[in-house]
Structure 1
Amino acid sequence: MIRAIGLSKCYQIYEEPRHRLMQMLARGRKRYYREFWALRDVSFSVAKGETVGIVGRNGSGKSTLLQMICGTLNPTAGEVSANGRIAALLELGSGFNPEFSGRENVYLNAAVLGLSREDVDQCFDEIVAFSGIEEFIDQPVKTYSSGMVVRLAFAVQVQVKPDVLVVDEALAVGDEAFQRKCYLRLQELKADGVAVLFVSHDAGTVLQLCDRVILLDAGKKIMEGEPKPVVALYQKLVYATRAAANEIIAAARPDDTLPDTGVPQVVAVSPDFDPELVPQTTLDYASRGAAIHAVEVQDELGRLVNQLQHGAMYTVRFRATFDSAAQSVIFGMMAKTAAGVEIGGAVTDTPGSGLARIEPGERFDVVIRFRCLLNPGVYFLNVGIMGAADGELTYLARKVDAVMVRVKPERAIRATGLVDLDVTATAERVGA
């Protein structure tokens, strides 16, 4: 449904306005501008019914790419094609006329998408119901709140049954109930065979919605593949220094091994330890003066374990080392599903508080105890160190998917979902 081959976009950057005129007069004999490549040699495709995510730091070329796919920007080089009707959730509501009513803007916006008035008549009630602004639909849009505008615009785009849907950070509109409607509608469109190109900085949403993910940085495609490893590499770039980010990009697949620091190993091993239960997606953020070593899960007897019993107590342990001074340091752990959805965790203090100052060379043994209330399944544990660096609170070190654990199935468990909420469920017969 979408195919891009060697897609590139270059802008001419002039230092002074007069240089534009001088460039025209020079007729190519001299150059008065510098080139800025917003996108360079990017190729990919999106099949029918497939959702492909695009992630990258600010300025990586994501919006430029979407504009070329939608046809609002011409590429400098390469080819791009999109088959069928395209609905783009880019600048929601930007095409609305503030003097027109919501009803008039629905017909106007739908006409831009290629729908006839008869087509809109058939789905108009669904559009208004989805937006949730029925009582204001005949009022001028200039009287709407910004939230009402984007909700109506979103409702138009997703109700016109597109063949290709392009989404750029457009799901954070409205309240939680409306956001839930948006996600459900995207799932319905995907089931109907709509190709979705999805851009977001929300890693959890990308992992939840996308079949494949593309990582862009500085206009180039760095990685493409399964969502989890690509998103993990993207998160590592976000928290890396400029020098470290350049090394990560050059390597494409960073080396996540850490030096041996002599951390004592657990001598005893529980019968519930499975040596084959090893994560293949472990990833370390670039260090900002700290490192994490020897992450382990232990049972109440101090034995190494990775197959957990529902309701039992466990301890996550790791060694933290510092080669630079740090301030406001806290340590933490997060449990996630196999799809990357965060379930819950804990930190040693509130962000911005914690240990006031740590000197270079100091080491800490971090101990985090928890009761396993997870329902049977496979889960991953992240661990991290946060602190102040260059005046901002950030990760000093983080290990993603540090440990893989399996909660063993039990016939007696009646809880459903991911977490046991300790709910009591009964049914009382009251008659025929």
Structure 2
Amino acid sequence: MDAIVVEDVTKRYRVYPRPIDRLKEVLTFNRGCYHREFTALERVNLNVAKGQVMGIIGPNGAGKSTLLKMMAGIIDPNEGRIAVQGRVASIIELGTGFHGEFSGRDNVYMNAAIMGYRREQVDAFFDEIARFAELGSYMDMPVKTYSSGMFVRLAFSIATHVEPNVFLVDEALAVGDAVFAHRCTKRIREMKERGVTICFVSHDVNAVQGICDEAVLLDRGRLMDRGTPKNVVQRYQTVVAERIARGAAAEGAPTDFHAIGAPETSAEIGEQRFGTFEAQIVRTEVRDGNGRTTTKLLSGDNVRFAIDVEFRKDIEDPIFGIMLRNRYGVEVFGTNSYLRNERTGLFRRGQTVRVFFRAPLHVGVGSYTVSFAVHTPAGHFYDYRVDNTVIEVLGPIPSIGLAVLPLDIEVDRSSGSSHR
């Protein structure tokens, strides 16, 4: 059963060059046209199953927030229909649904009342809302005095404690601090386990891949892709890279940007590749601590990744980079020569060089993909080989998680000793 159904939805806005133009149009009974129309969404179709977590990603201005606002009933579509089943809670714009003159406490009761709760019901879970928001004495101060982070704390705490059937959350969470963001992610996972339907808009692709069951890509008001979070994120990154390349073309850089579908390395993981290819990664290699070519490595082993780069024009100080992702697409480790303040020098057309990346592999047991890139400081890719190689990290290891830190545990039994 679908909790959210979006059918052929189109949303247009009237844009007036000056405020007075709106008045002119009204006074002339729309005989004079003083506006232009902007299409925020065009013929979008989307269904979200009950209990599903759907990620919505895309560049700025793609229509993500507009879609969420229509799901929440804040605005109506010009065409099509949207049906949402159950109680809806949303965090879309900071301050939405709050009265600036009311205290945080009063806003909790007001928002809960809008959701259909009686005051005595709110009394039962108010302390839990206050505890999660961690606003202290600010809970009894007008919310107009709140920072953006405090707004988010209160809004998220209210929205997740009124037991919604559908939870809509926008990029607003990005303004919170790291500790609160971690707690929010944990709470979203708990809601997912309870069967709450969640639509999650974010530019944080790691969060989308870690939380969502499926994802969709919006671009310029159209739904461009739908699928696993990993595949949709890769499509999104390709779209962003294409825009960067076009921007470089406008500044006089080459325009022959294209993507190459590479052969799959396994049933689940396939390489994606794009760039201008003025510098091309023609060969990649993985060796273990004994110098053997392999894709099976022991956790903690000294690994050596290598790429052969062929230059098709003179390039000064290209950046060489590497990225490891786990099987969920979460970025585990990434770096490049620019971040490490290493100038690479001038390379001539026709020259081929080998670049090494050496490190002890302090990661947990599991499968990882390795991506390689050659690009400029501005992020214009000469060659970006995404998920080029799959490696398997083996154990046993004396820990759990993504990282294997060189940790010592010491127990000091001496009386009165200080902690070290």
Instruction: State the TM-score bracket (shorter-chain normalisation).
Output: 0.7 to 0.9
Distance in 1 separating the partners of 2:89 and 2:360: 47
Cα 1:353–1:306 shift into 2, 3 Å: closer
Bigger drift between 165-174 and 287-296 goes to 287-296
What is the CA distance between 1:423 and its match in structure 2?
A: 2.1
What is the CA distance between 1:65 and its match in structure 2?
A: 0.9
Within a 5 Å distance, the mapping from 1:292-311 to structure 2 comes to 292-300=281-289, 302-311=291-300
Aligned length: 401
What is the CA distance between 1:428 and its match in structure 2?
A: 9.7
Distance in 2 separating the partners of 1:146 and 1:31: 38
Post-superposition CA distance 1:297-340 (Å, at most 9, x none) = 12356543111123332211112344456555321212121011
Confirm whether residue 384 of structure 1 aligns to residue 370 of structure 2.
no
Post-superposition CA distance 1:150-190 (Å, at most 9, x none) = 21122111111111101111333433322222111111111
What is the CA distance between 1:55 and its match in structure 2?
A: 0.7
Q: Which residue of 2 aligns with 1:398?
A: 384
SS of alignment partner, residue 404 of structure 1: strand
Q: Which residue of 2 aligns with 1:194?
A: 196
SS of alignment partner, residue 119 of structure 1: helix
Q: Which residue of 1 aligns with 2:66?
A: 64
Within a 5 Å distance, the mapping from 1:247-262 to structure 2 comes to 255-257=260-262
Please give the TM-score of this superposition, normalised by the length of structure 1: 0.82
Cα 1:233–1:293 shift into 2, 3 Å: farther
The residue identity in structure 1 corresponding to 2:66 is: T
What is the CA distance between 1:83 and its match in structure 2?
A: 0.8
Q: Which residue of 2 aligns with 1:417?
A: 401
Post-superposition CA distance 1:8-41 (Å, at most 9, x none) = 112344567659857996978x977554321111
Cα 1:235–1:23 shift into 2, 3 Å: same
Confirm whether residue 373 of structure 1 aligns to residue 378 of structure 2.
no
The answer on whether the counterparts of 2:259 and 2:275 sit within 8 Å (CA) in structure 1 is no
Cα 1:76–1:418 shift into 2, 3 Å: same
Within a 5 Å distance, the mapping from 1:16-165 to structure 2 comes to 21=24, 34-165=36-167
Confirm whether residue 344 of structure 1 aligns to residue 333 of structure 2.
yes
What is the CA distance between 1:193 and its match in structure 2?
A: 1.1
Q: Which residue of 2 aligns with 1:185?
A: 187
SS of alignment partner, residue 38 of structure 1: strand
Distance in 1 separating the partners of 2:43 and 2:63: 12
Bigger drift between 104-113 and 217-226 goes to 104-113
Distance in 1 separating the partners of 2:160 and 2:114: 14
What is the CA distance between 1:375 and its match in structure 2?
A: 2.8
The residue identity in structure 2 corresponding to 1:398 is: Y
Structure 2 unpaired stretches of 5+: 248-257, 415-420
Distance in 1 separating the partners of 2:144 and 2:170: 24
Distance in 2 separating the partners of 1:328 and 1:304: 29
Cα 1:56–1:143 shift into 2, 3 Å: closer
Q: Which residue of 2 aligns with 1:249?
A: none
The residue identity in structure 2 corresponding to 1:377 is: G
Q: Which residue of 2 aligns with 1:209?
A: 211
What is the CA distance between 1:364 and its match in structure 2?
A: 3.1
The answer on whether the counterparts of 1:169 and 1:201 sit within 8 Å (CA) in structure 2 is yes
Bigger drift between 401-410 and 298-307 goes to 298-307
Distance in 2 separating the partners of 1:8 and 1:381: 40
The answer on whether the counterparts of 1:88 and 1:166 sit within 8 Å (CA) in structure 2 is yes
What is the CA distance between 1:82 and its match in structure 2?
A: 0.6
Cα 1:84–1:326 shift into 2, 3 Å: farther
The residue identity in structure 1 corresponding to 2:405 is: L
Cα 1:5–1:254 shift into 2, 3 Å: farther
The residue identity in structure 2 corresponding to 1:367 is: F
The answer on whether the counterparts of 1:50 and 1:196 sit within 8 Å (CA) in structure 2 is yes
Distance in 2 separating the partners of 1:315 and 1:118: 63
Cα 1:381–1:162 shift into 2, 3 Å: same
What is the CA distance between 1:114 and its match in structure 2?
A: 3.1
Distance in 1 separating the partners of 2:14 and 2:281: 45
Cα 1:144–1:37 shift into 2, 3 Å: closer
What is the CA distance between 1:377 and its match in structure 2?
A: 1.2
Distance in 1 separating the partners of 2:21 and 2:277: 44
What is the CA distance between 1:347 and its match in structure 2?
A: 2.1
Cα 1:80–1:350 shift into 2, 3 Å: same
The answer on whether the counterparts of 1:11 and 1:36 sit within 8 Å (CA) in structure 2 is yes
Q: Which residue of 2 aligns with 1:2?
A: 4
Distance in 2 separating the partners of 1:425 and 1:406: 28
Cα 1:57–1:353 shift into 2, 3 Å: farther
The residue identity in structure 2 corresponding to 1:379 is: Y
Q: Which residue of 2 aligns with 1:283?
A: 272
The answer on whether the counterparts of 1:279 and 1:401 sit within 8 Å (CA) in structure 2 is no
The answer on whether the counterparts of 2:95 and 2:151 sit within 8 Å (CA) in structure 1 is yes
Cα 1:160–1:23 shift into 2, 3 Å: closer
Structure 1 unpaired stretches of 5+: 246-252, 259-274
Post-superposition CA distance 1:364-396 (Å, at most 9, x none) = 3211112222232111112122313xxx34544
Confirm whether residue 408 of structure 1 aligns to residue 408 of structure 2.
no
The residue identity in structure 2 corresponding to 1:167 is: V
The answer on whether the counterparts of 1:241 and 1:286 sit within 8 Å (CA) in structure 2 is no
Cα 1:374–1:352 shift into 2, 3 Å: closer
Post-superposition CA distance 1:384-428 (Å, at most 9, x none) = 22313xxx3454432221110111233xx3222222212234789
Distance in 1 separating the partners of 2:412 and 2:342: 51
